[in-house]
Structure formats: structure tokens, C-alpha cells
């Protein structure tokens, strides 16, 4: 596992920060079931074990290979071929699959859910998840949708690490009628995974994430492909001379194609609205360049720079130039090297 060293060295400090219970205290959940054991599912497992939040961890995925890998890495203690088997006896079920299959998963697990269990998800879109999952959840089981605002461009059970959620936001979007005790318990669970929590309406979540995450990914996918088409003309110059900005786009564009296909298919209205606004603002810049309007360009760039400074001041990103990647590999500490791979 690529992150093993960084994970183990950071365990005690981060666990203390996350408020892990004292030794011997019962875990918050007796049995957690992970449906989907990729980057997010495996990171939840690592972080939950770090903080001593769960007893057993059951899991299922699409393929037997992933279940085997997750067992081998200790991410799950019990592996199953189907989601229905995995959720039996679980008091916490977390659906960590691509958004497009969450409805089918909810339908499959519904008859096997234990009374009083909490069912949640981690999907990057929330209104479509509520639409697709909520109708299947039986009475007496609590459905509390969620979205950790934390991730990397990597996928699969080997990509996960315990620190992924440390200091990051997790948004919960419980429908108004949701049991307050279940919401409070899931909130505490995510806090102990290391996150800050915000409760939000699902539609509002989708609008906010459309501009902060979904449209930026679409821009990255598009600009990398535009450059790739050029590369056929100019040989390897696009790669050879790629500056930091373009390299950052290629990192974002390396994200999982299935996950992102499902995000755009399931957050259509909000993404189209934000894309429209983006295109209008782009035309303003295009006109300023065409007509030599330096004042407009400089004002736009200064405003954007102020926003970046605000993000750094809020502790949401590093102030290091080039995100701290500027040092030659040999001079970089192990921990920094691990982080830069994410
Ligand atoms: P991932 O690494 O690609 O893992 C996806 C997992 O879902 C895999 O274990 C896959 O199994 C399983 N899966 C796929 N189809 C399934 C099905 N029909 N039934 C059961 N399992 C199935 O993806 P991820 O990055 O963890 O993302 C998972 C969810 O988290 C997505 O909804 C995404 O929107 C959300 N999210 C992602 C990020 C991020 O940065 N990646 C951040 C926040 C939230 P196989 O391995 O066998 O195919």
C-alpha cells in the first residue's frame, strides 16, 4: 500500500485529534458495512479503525478481486459477493459506489437491513441520491445522505489512507423528516473520522458543488483533451513544456471516468447553470483580450488571487509554492513524497 508509512506514523496524533475513545470503550457501531471499497470506502475503514469507531467491518464490491484485495489489506474483516449479504447485522451501512448505482444498491439491500440501522452514502451528488435511494429504505431504518469533500484522483482499495478526511468538510443532507438522533450519531462519526460537518439541503449542496468541484473537473477534462489534440500536430511539445498549471489540470483529469460520468449525469441542471455563468464570464475575458482591455483583465485576475488567498487563510490548502512540490525528489521527505502522489 502506497501510503502505509505515512498512515502508521500519523495514527496516534490524528486519532487523538479526532477524539478517539479511550481503550476499552465500546465502538460507536458494532458492525459497519461498506458497499464499494475504493478510495473513499477504504479511507473510511482506515480512519474508523484509527479512531476505534467500529467493531467489525463487512464489505462488498462489484468484483471479487476488490473484495479479496480489501481483505488482504485489512480494510474489511468480512468480505461478501453481494451487497445484500454484506449489510446483514450491520448497524451502519455506507454506500461508497459510483452515484449511478446507488439506487440499485439501495433496492438490493433494503430487505436485509437491520431495524434501527443507519444507511448513508458518500456520493458527490445529493438530490439524485435522495431521489434514487430514499424510496427503498424501509421504515425503522434511518437514511442520512452524506458527502465528504475530500478525495484524490486515485481509485481502488489500495488508494485509501486514514488522513483523507482530517480537517476537511463533510456535508450531510438529511431530508427534513430524518430522525434527529441518527443525524447526530452520523455527525459524531464523521467528526471522529477527522472532518468538520455542515448540514445542508440536497439541492443547495448540488449547486455549491457544481461550481466548486464539478465544473472545474469538466474544464480539466476538456483542456487536457484539447491539448492532446494539439499534441498530435506538435509531437510531444505539450508534455515536454507543460507548465505547472497544465500539469495540475492533468492530475485532476486523471480522476475516475465512471465516477465523473455519473456526477454529470446526476447533477445536470446545476452543472448546466454554472457552465452557462462560466461561459458568460469567459466571453468577458475573451473580449478584453481582443480589445486590449488590460484593466478588465487585471481586475479579474486580482479578484481571483484574493479568493486563493482566502482559501489558504481558511486552512483549506497549503500556501507553499507549487503546492510544495517544487523540491527535487531526493530532497523531499517521505511524507511529502507520499502526499504529492495523492
Ligand atoms: P472508486 O475508488 O472507483 O471505488 C468505487 C467502488 O465501488 C469500487 O469498490 C467498485 O468495485 C464499487 N462498485 C462499483 N459498482 C458497484 C456496484 N454495482 N455494486 C457494488 N459495488 C460497486 O471510487 P471512489 O473514489 O471511492 O468514489 C466512490 C463514491 O465516492 C462516488 O460516489 C464518488 O462520487 C464519491 N466521492 C469520491 C471522491 C473522490 O475524490 N474520489 C470524493 C468524495 C466523494 P470494483 O472495484 O470491484 O469495481
8 A C-beta contact, residue 230 and residue 202: no
- Residue pair 87/125 in contact (Cβ under 8 Å)? The answer is no
The sign of the dihedral angle between the CA atoms of 10, 253, 241, 286 is negative
Provide residues with CB under 6 Å of ligand 1.
35-41, 61-63, 66, 83, 96-99, 101, 105, 122-124, 147-148, 151-152, 155-156, 256, 259, 263
Beta strands in 237-303 (DSSP E): none
Convert the pLDDT of each residue in 54-103 to its tens digit: 999 999 999 999 999 999 999 999 999 999 999 999 999 999 999 999 99
> Is the CB of residue 172 less than 8 Å from the CB of residue 145?
yes
Distance (Å, whole) CA 163 – CA 4: 11
Question: Ligand 1 centre and the CA of 40: distance in Å?
Answer: 7
Lowest mean pLDDT among 211-220, 256-265, 298-307, 325-334: 325-334
Nearest-angstrom CA–CA distance, 234 and 46: 45
Going by pLDDT thresholds of 50, 70 and 90, the confidence category of residue 238 is confident
Ligand 1 atom having least distance to the Cα of 101: 18
**Residue 32 pLDDT > 80:** yes
Those residues whose C-beta lies under 8 Å from the C-beta of residue 340, and which sit 6 or more positions away, are 323, 324, 325, 332
Provide the residue ranges of all domains of the chain, joining segments of one domain with +: 2-200, 205-340
Residue 193 · residue 18 · CB < 8 Å: yes
Name the residue of 2, 37, 40 whose CB sits within 8 Å of the most ligand 1 atoms, as the mutation to test its pocket: 40
CB within 8 Å of 236: residues ≥ 6 apart:
none
Q: Which of 165, 188, 61 is nearest to 118 (CA)?
A: 188
The Cα–Cα gap between 46 and 40 comes to 10
- As a whole number of angstroms, the distance between CA 234 and CA 215 comes to 28
Nearest CA to ligand 1 atom 16: 62
Atom of ligand 1 nearest to the CA of 256: 3
List the one residue out of 89, 21, 68, 69 whose CA is nearest residue 49. 21
Closest Cα to atom 3 of ligand 1: 155
Ligand 1 centroid to Cα of residue 322, in Å, is 29
Question: How far, in Å, from the CA of 101 to the mean position of ligand 1?
Answer: 10
Centre of ligand 1 to C-alpha 17, Å, is: 27
Please give the distance of CA 117 from its chain centroid, rounded to a whole number: 23
Within a 10 A sphere around the Cβ of 180, how many other Cβ atoms? 9
How confident is the model over 279-304, as pLDDT tens digits?
999 999 999 999 999 999 999 999 99
Which atom of ligand 1 is nearest to 99's Cα? Answer: 32
What is the CATH architecture assignment of 2-200?
Answer: 3-Layer(aba) Sandwich (3.40)
CA 138 to centroid of ligand 1, rounded, Å: 24
Mutation test residue for ligand 1: of 57, 61, 75, the one with most atoms within 8 Å of CB:
61
Whole-angstrom Cα distance, residue 102 to residue 88? 18
Element (H, E) at 265: helix 257-266
* Ligand 1 centroid distance, CA of 36 (Å): 6
Q: How far is the CA of 38 from the centre of ligand 1 (A)?
A: 5
Distance of CA 30 to the CA centre of its chain: 25
CATH of 205-340, one of 2.40.50.140, 1.10.10.10, 2.170.150.20, 1.10.3660.10: 1.10.3660.10
For residue 31, what are the β-bridge partners? Answer: 56
Around Cβ 211, how many Cβ atoms within 10 Å? 16
Mutate to test the pocket of ligand 1, among 96, 103, 149, 263 (most ligand atoms within 8 A of CB): 96
What is the radius of gyration, based on Cα positions, of the chain?
Answer: 21
pLDDT at 235: 63
Nearest CA to ligand 1 atom 41: 151
Pairing assessment for the beta strands 54-60 and 78-80 based on DSSP bridges: parallel
Q: What is the pTM of this model?
A: 0.87
Grid coordinates given for 232: 498530435
> Contact at 8 Å (CB) between 166 and 140?
no
62 CA: nearest ligand 1 atom:
47
Q: Is the pLDDT of residue 5 over 90?
A: no
Q: Place 26 in a pLDDT band, splitting at 50, 70 and 90.
A: confident
CB neighbours (10 Å) of residue 69?
Answer: 20
327 exposure class (CB count in 10 Å sphere: 0-12, 13-18, 19+): middle
Closest CA to 28 of 94, 104, 101: 94
Amino acid at each position: 500500500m502506497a501510503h502505509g508509512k505515512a498512515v502508521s506514523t500519523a495514527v496516534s496524533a490524528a486519532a487523538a485529534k479526532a477524539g478517539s475513545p479511550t481503550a476499552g470503550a465500546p465502538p460507536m457501531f458494532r458492525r459497519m458495512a461498506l458497499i464499494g471499497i475504493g478510495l473513499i470506502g477504504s479511507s473510511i475503514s482506515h480512519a474508523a479503525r484509527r479512531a476505534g469507531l467500529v467493531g467489525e467491518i463487512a464489505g462488498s464490491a462489484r468484483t471479487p478481486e476488490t473484495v479479496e484485495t480489501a481483505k488482504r489489506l485489512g480494510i474489511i474483516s468480512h468480505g461478501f459477493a453481494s451487497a445484500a449479504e454484506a449489510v446483514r447485522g450491520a448497524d451502519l451501512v455506507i454506500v461508497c459506489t459510483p452515484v449511478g448505482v446507488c439506487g440499485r444498491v439501495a433496492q438490493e439491500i433494503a430487505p436485509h437491513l437491520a431495524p434501527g440501522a443507519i444507511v448513508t452514502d458518500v456520493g458527490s451528488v445529493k438530490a439524485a441520491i435522495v431521489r434514487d435511494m430514499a424510496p427503498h429504505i424501509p421504515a425503522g431504518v434511518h437514511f442520512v445522505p452524506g458527502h465528504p469533500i475530500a478525495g484524490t484522483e486515485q481509485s481502488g482499495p489500495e488508494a485509501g489512507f486514514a488522513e483523507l478526511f482530517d480537517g476537511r468538510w463533510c456535508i450531510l443532507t438529511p431530508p427534513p423528516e430524518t430522525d434527529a438522533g441518527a443525524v447526530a450519531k452520523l455527525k459524531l462519526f464523521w467528526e471522529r473520522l477527522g472532518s468538520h460537518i455542515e448540514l445542508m439541503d440536497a439541492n443547495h449542496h448540488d449547486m455549491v458543488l457544481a461550481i466548486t468541484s464539478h465544473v472545474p473537473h469538466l474544464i480539466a477534462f476538456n483542456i487536457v483533451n484539447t491539448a492532446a489534440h494539439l499534441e498530435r500536430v506538435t509531437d510531444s511539445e505539450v508534455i515536454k513544456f507543460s507548465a505547472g498549471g497544465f500539469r495540475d489540470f492533468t492530475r485532476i483529469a486523471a480522476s475516475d471516468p465512471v465516477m465523473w460520468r455519473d456526477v454529470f449525469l446526476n447533477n445536470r441542471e446545476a452543472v448546466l447553470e454554472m457552465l452557462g455563468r462560466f461561459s458568460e464570464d469567459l466571453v468577458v475575458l475573451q473580449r478584453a483580450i481582443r480589445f486590449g482591455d488590460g484593466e478588465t483583465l487585471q481586475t479579474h485576475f486580482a479578484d481571483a488571487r484574493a479568493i486563493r488567498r482566502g482559501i489558504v487563510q481558511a486552512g483549506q490548502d497549503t500556501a507553499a509554492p507549487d503546492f510544495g512540490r517544487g523540491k527535487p525528489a531526493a530532497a523531499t521527505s517521505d511524507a511529502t513524497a507520499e502526499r504529492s502522489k495523492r
